[in-house]
Amino acid sequence: MRAVVVHGAGDLRVDEVADPVAGPGEVVVAMEWGGICGSDLAYWKHGRSGTAELRHPMVLGHEVAGRITALGQGVRGLETGQAVTFQPAQLVGDGIMPERLAGRTNLYPQVRYFGSAAFDPHTDGGFSELRAVRAEQVRPLPDSVSTRRGALAEPLAVALHAVGRAPSLTGRTVLVNGAGPIGSLVVAAAKHAGAAHVIAADLAPASLEVARAMGADSTVDLTTGTLPEDVELVFEASGAPAAIGAVLRATAKGGTVVQVGNLPGTAAEVTLGDLVTRELTWIGSYRFSEEVDDAILALADGLDVDPLMTHTFGIEDAGEALRTAADRTSGSSKVMLRLGGDQG
């Protein structure tokens, strides 16, 4: 089968690799769609993502969906031909969490994740024509959710987790700073959660156009305008340290900022005085726990992710797909890979 394999910084190949076999408790899935994420780009461009460093070739991709083709011994409740997506996280060890963190499996200390070099050997992702997956990580898709949309259940789960970290959004005005794929999904998730008015802000007009299509009621082009003032609830989705000072100033006294944009693990110069003088609450949001199930329900309920998917490439053109996703002048939001199957 073909797989999208990163061999090192700047070295991406579509390799022929052995077909997987379903072991006990596993299924083999014929992958149909994959979405390119920032971590995929980081491994390709830099040979690392955060603190995870590439030590040997690895298949990329954790935003994926497809159809089951084979069941391993002992698998129950799943069928061949079934459309599925995945919980890409697998806890390493006994899975026991401190009582204060009960249910917050995203904070478990050791997690294997599709397409991650955090462990050696690395955990291959799903940008391949076939993949063997533990049955417990499989999430069936309802008939109303195509595998193309189902591939975005994972990033939508990130957005739903961020929204869930905030106080109730019902009837509130919300600001989302940063309208990349996650920011635009936060826009959609906020509207789905009952926000009355969602403002999206970004430097790129193309990103703001996607945010509007995803449900933003108004937008701010930060090349010509500034963030609004006195917004009670703000989602910082740009991940840019230079933006944090302005975001804190835009937040109303006593308000809340949810940090969903991934900040660098190195020192950064930021202005934090408003955090104290305005008595703001600054909340971190990391990946998700089981919100992938909520994401599938939201997709079935009509949450529309189609505007996010701006570009599509076949698996044979994976290199061009990553270049497009990395090019801020391309107008891309979520770049999709056709991995195989009927692409339904």
Which CATH number is 159-284's, of 2.60.40.1180, 3.40.50.2300, 1.10.10.60, 3.40.50.720? Answer: 3.40.50.720
DSSP summary character for residue 214: T
CATH class of 2-144+302-338: alpha beta
Where are the domains positioned within the chain? 2-144+302-338, 159-284
3-state secondary structure of 330: coil
CA 130 – CA 128 distance, rounded (Å): 5
pLDDT above 50 for 343: no
Q: What is the mean pLDDT of residues 236-261?
A: 96
Helix-helix angle 181-192:153-164, to 10 degrees: 60
Q: What's the confidence (pLDDT) of residue 50?
A: 85
Tokens of 166: 């905030």
* Residue-wise pLDDT tens digits, 317-337: 999 999 999 998 999 999 999
H-type helices in 101-145, by residue range?
none
Q: What is the mean pLDDT of residues 102-115?
A: 95
* Residue-wise pLDDT tens digits, 274-283: 999 999 999 9
Q: Peptide bond preceding 155: is omega within 30 degrees of 0, i.e. cis?
A: no
Tokens of 142: 């309802």
Q: What's the confidence (pLDDT) of residue 41?
A: 97
pLDDT above 90 for 268: no
